[in-house]
Amino acid sequence: QKKIRILDSTLREGEQHPGVAFTIKQRIQIAWMLDSFGVDQIEISPVVSPDHAEATKTIIKQGLRADIVAHTRAIKSDVDVAIDCGATWVATYMGISDIHISAKLKITREEAKARALEVADYIKAHGLKARFTMEDASRTDPTFLIEMCKEMNRRGIERISIPDTVGIMRPRGMYNLVKMVYNNIDKSKTSLDVHCHNDVGLALANALAGCEAGADQIHTTIDGFGERTGIPSLAETAVALTLIYKSNNDLRLHMLKDLSKTISDYISLPIPESKPIVGDSAYKHKAGTHLAAILRNPAAYEIIEPKTVGNRRKIVFGELAGKNGAAYLLSLLGLETSKHEAEALARGLKELRMGDILELYLDDRLERKILNDAAVKLS
């Protein structure tokens, strides 16, 4: 299985989310964490403010393992800012759909193409590694998209990003779009990125479909923050790649919860409890039938152990706990469990109004022992 890489854009796309803004020190801290987590590239825009330029410079100086990619508009003076920061990787973007060319750039297709190529040549003339982003690729005339990709490919641009800027694709459509580009370029010169927006919740599915079609790098942000409803979250992407696609196994997954927690502390926004992998509910078990199975083998309802991703298992005793849940609760309290007592407690729990619940958070070692004891008693 070919490795699928991760570019994390928390410091660029992530900061485009309302309410998300980091200090210089926080950006440096995030870059260190992302690097030790194991992402391949870290993206930041040095152009948006002097603070961002400062952060970009300092992060580049850290000598991290990940490439630091400076994101710029397709404007030479932007590229100059990146160069001044010491960037060796530059990602430049330009809207190439008719709607972007007319509404944003207010020029013609031919002028847009000329401008893009001029900037690409400029970047290459400075000996930089480069990505060119075909912004709004999913709404671009395919002929023009291919024409542009071929030009970049001919120039030895190392990566082309195919974004679904407005989150309008379905997985099959993203697959076809990326396949079309993939079939039209010399793969020894250029690799493909996918950058999918989550406007209807299909971002990760679309990005993975793009990788099945030949792309080898997915853009993520911590917790999926980004313009509007964002892009795929780092945690979901990392676990999907490791566990489902088996295309990456050098990521420190146990850092996922901490990465998420760090961001939420920095921006004073709680992590939504239903967030996959890192949310508070990601490993909460409630229904009696689930509890009964979890007692014997947590894998019955967990695809990856909570501690593997830095999260914790939580058992909820509420109106759905049933006699298995009740017996478990009694054993936790150190009480000898008879069938009769367990049933009585289960009836009591049934009386609970919806939402009146007791949650238990357990230390790992204790939990394993108790799970074993309870399983023995019930079997």
Return the range that interacts with ligand HCA (CB under 6 A); candidates 25-33, 51-59, 158-166, 328-336.
158-166
- 14, 163, 214, 288: residue in contact with ligand HCA (rule CB under 6 A): 163
**Nearest approach, Cβ of residue 55 and ligand HCA (Å):** 18
Which residues on adjacent β-strands are paired with residue 361?
A: 314
Which residue number, 56 or 331, has a Cβ lying nearer to ligand HCA?
A: 56
What is the β-pairing status of strands 314-317 and 5-8? unpaired
Residue whose token pair is 């490791």: 242
Structure tokens that stand for 106 in this block: 């207010």
Dist. CA 281–CA 361, nearest whole Å: 12
Of 110-139, which residues contact ligand HCA (CB under 6 A)? 133, 135
Which residue number, 218 or 315, has a Cβ lying nearer to ligand HCA?
A: 218
**Nearest approach, Cβ of residue 196 and ligand HCA (Å):** 8
Which residue number, 71 or 313, has a Cβ lying nearer to ligand HCA?
A: 71
Which residue number, 97 or 324, has a Cβ lying nearer to ligand HCA?
A: 97
- CA 266 to each of CA 15, 53, 143, 341: distance values in angstroms, whole numbers, following the listed order: 12, 20, 44, 47
Residue 93's nearest CA partner among 108, 63, 115 is: 115
- 72, 138, 153, 165: residue in contact with ligand HCA (rule CB under 6 A): 165
Which residue number, 69 or 327, has a Cβ lying nearer to ligand HCA?
A: 69
Of 19-38, which residues contact ligand HCA (CB under 6 A)? none
Residue 131's nearest CA partner among 94, 86, 183 is: 94
Q: How many residues bind ligand HCA (CB under 6 A)?
A: 14
**Nearest approach, Cβ of residue 195 and ligand HCA (Å):** 4
The answer to whether the CB of 295 falls within 8 A of the CB of 371 is: yes
Dist. CA 196–CA 217, nearest whole Å: 11
Residue 91 engages ligand HCA in binding (rule: CB under 6 A): yes
Dist. CA 71–CA 226, nearest whole Å: 15
- 35, 67, 227, 236: residue in contact with ligand HCA (rule CB under 6 A): 227
Q: Is 273 exposed, middle or buried (0-12, 13-18, 19+ CB in 10 A)?
A: exposed
Dist. CA 255–CA 310, nearest whole Å: 6
Residue 221 engages ligand HCA in binding (rule: CB under 6 A): no
Binding site for ligand HCA (CB under 6 A): 13, 16, 91, 93, 133, 135, 161, 163, 165, 193, 195, 197, 219, 227
